[in-house]
């Protein structure tokens, strides 16, 4: 079946900062929980990412910049020599397959549990406010999310330093770029939002102050990684981790106007489940824009034509369709993924989804 002319825009090249993409299909970051207990990506991860190397850009699963940044079981890090070496094998294999790959730095802040930390150092956040609900652990089952320790000024400077060092580690491991996870209720998002940041110092209160940690962290990452190598992901509005903001339009307008967008590789916007419309923010995005959230081939092509987006992120479709780019190009049906295997330790639901083959 022929692909419509409109959809063909997905398969044209583009450039995000200093990263040249063969097409505009981005594999969005997705937690998969397949690393070893000490945060080293397993050989399965190499196979997983290489299978998906036809994407214009892969953005890795959330990767912690420190032991403190881990909140879930079996998530990878990029702060020990063993972790960096394992990632270098992955980036090398992806490049050999013709792909580009960025790492997403994810410090969970208050979202996690000590039982999931290889070194149980506990959790720090802007304010001592627990995230609602429970979290799964491999050792003690479901546990309520604990109250985090409120960060001191020294802690905040250390957190920025963690991201600076992790960025340096990522570039030495061969990543093409680094994305700061400033979405989905994790640490950077917690600093931005009035519901989780109740500080009264220079990192809390006004929108400008609540943006300060993110601004300083992004600047540190650019210093370590260079111009055109750093991206940021945001999800304005509500959030599954119950991270409300009194005025998201104000918060994110201030953030976007304060960020050094001329030095960024991209701004990555993910709509939130509350239905809050982020499109009024597009006029404040001057860096290359990635949009992610529920797209198929036709709606992705439409978004590229009707918004400032230069690329479109696909998440879950990449889980069960390692050859998603080719399926979109040729309008092949998409396979359905099995949610029960999203976060399990083995190869099932990870590297065992086949590429398309024509029915005989």
Residue 172: count other Cβ atoms within 10 Å of its Cβ.
12
Whose tokens are 């490049």? That residue is 95
What pLDDT does residue 271 have?
79
Question: Please, which pLDDT band fits residue 61 given cuts at 50, 70 and 90?
Answer: very high
Query: How do residues 106-156 score in pLDDT, each as one tens digit?
Result: 999 999 999 999 999 999 999 999 999 999 999 999 999 999 999 999 999
Cβ–Cβ < 8 Å for 19, 311: no
Residues 6+ apart with CB under 8 A from 360: none
Q: What percent of the chain has pLDDT over 70?
A: 96
Q: What would the DSSP string read from start to end of 20-33?
A: EESSSEEE------
On the CB side of 1, CA atoms within 13 Å amount to 12
CA–CA separation, 360 vs 350, rounded Å?
A: 26
On the CB side of 275, CA atoms within 13 Å amount to 0
CA–CA separation, 101 vs 172, rounded Å?
A: 13
pLDDT higher at 238 or 330: 330
> What are the structure tokens assigned to 359, written together?
């029915």
> What are the structure tokens assigned to 87, written together?
């990632």
* Rounded average pLDDT over 55-84: 98
Evaluate if residue 5 carries a pLDDT over 60.
no
> What are the structure tokens assigned to 345, written together?
């330790």
* Rounded average pLDDT over 53-72: 98
Residues 6+ apart with CB under 8 A from 112: 70, 71, 72, 123, 135, 145
Query: How do residues 208-264 score in pLDDT, each as one tens digit?
Result: 999 999 999 999 999 999 999 999 999 997 565 578 899 999 999 999 999 999 999
pTM of the model: 0.96
| Domains of the chain with bracketed CATH | 7-341 (3.20.20.70)
Beta strands in the chain (DSSP E): 14-16, 19-21, 25-27, 57-63, 101-105, 124-125, 134-135, 143-144, 149-150, 177-182, 230-234, 266-269, 289-292, 311-314
Question: Please, which pLDDT band fits residue 2 given cuts at 50, 70 and 90?
Answer: very low
What pLDDT does residue 1 have?
42
What pLDDT does residue 275 have?
75
Catalytic residue set: 186
Query: How do residues 92-108 score in pLDDT, each as one tens digit?
Result: 999 999 999 999 999 99
Q: Say which range, 4-18, 85-99, 139-153, 276-290, has the weakest mean pLDDT.
A: 4-18
Query: How do residues 235-248 score in pLDDT, each as one tens digit?
Result: 997 565 578 899 99
**Phi and psi torsions of 65, nearest 5°:** -85, 0
Residues 6+ apart with CB under 8 A from 113: 71, 135, 137, 143, 145, 146
Cβ–Cβ < 8 Å for 204, 197: yes
């Amino acid at each position: 079946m022929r692909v419509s002319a409109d959809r063909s825009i997905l398969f044209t090249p583009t450039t995000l900062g200093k990263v040249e993409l063969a097409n505009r299909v981005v594999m969005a970051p997705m937690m998969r929980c397949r690393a070893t207990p000490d945060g080293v990506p397993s050989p399965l991860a190499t196979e997983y990412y290489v299978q998906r190397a036809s994407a214009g850009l892969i953005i890795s699963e959330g990767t912690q910049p420190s032991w403190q940044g881990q909140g879930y079981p079996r998530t990878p890090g990029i702060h020990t020599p063993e972790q960096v070496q394992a990632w270098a094998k992955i980036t090398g294999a992806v490049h050999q397959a013709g792909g580009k790959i960025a790492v997403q730095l994810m410090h969970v802040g208050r979202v996690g549990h000590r039982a999931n930390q290889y070194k149980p150092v506990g959790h720090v956040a802007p304010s001592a406010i627990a995230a609602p609900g429970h979290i799964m652990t491999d050792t003690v089952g479901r546990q309520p999310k604990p109250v985090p320790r409120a960060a001191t000024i020294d802690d905040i400077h250390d957190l920025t330093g963690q991201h600076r060092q992790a960025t340096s580690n990522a570039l030495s491991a061969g990543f093409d770029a680094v994305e700061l996870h400033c979405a989905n209720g994790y640490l950077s998002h917690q600093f931005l939002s009035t519901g989780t940041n109740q500080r009264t110092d220079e990192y809390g209160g006004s929108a400008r102050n609540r943006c300060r940690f993110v601004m300083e962290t992004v600047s540190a990452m650019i210093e370590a990684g260079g111009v055109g190598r750093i991206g940021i992901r945001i999800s304005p509005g509500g959030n599954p981790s119950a991270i409300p903001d009194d005025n998201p339009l104000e918060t994110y307008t201030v953030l976007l106007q304060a960020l050094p967008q001329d030095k960024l590789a991209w701004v990555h916007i993910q709509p939130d489940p509350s239905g809050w419309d982020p499109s009024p923010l597009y006029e404040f995005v001057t860096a290359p824009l990635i949009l992610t959230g529920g797209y198929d081939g036709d709606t992705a092509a439409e978004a590229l034509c009707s918004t400032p987006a230069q690329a479109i992120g696909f998440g879950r479709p990449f889980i069960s369709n390692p050859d998603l780019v080719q399926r979109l190009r040729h309008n092949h049906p998409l396979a359905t993924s099995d949610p029960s295997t999203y976060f399990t330790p083995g190869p099932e639901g990870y590297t065992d989804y086949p590429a398309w083959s024509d029915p005989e």
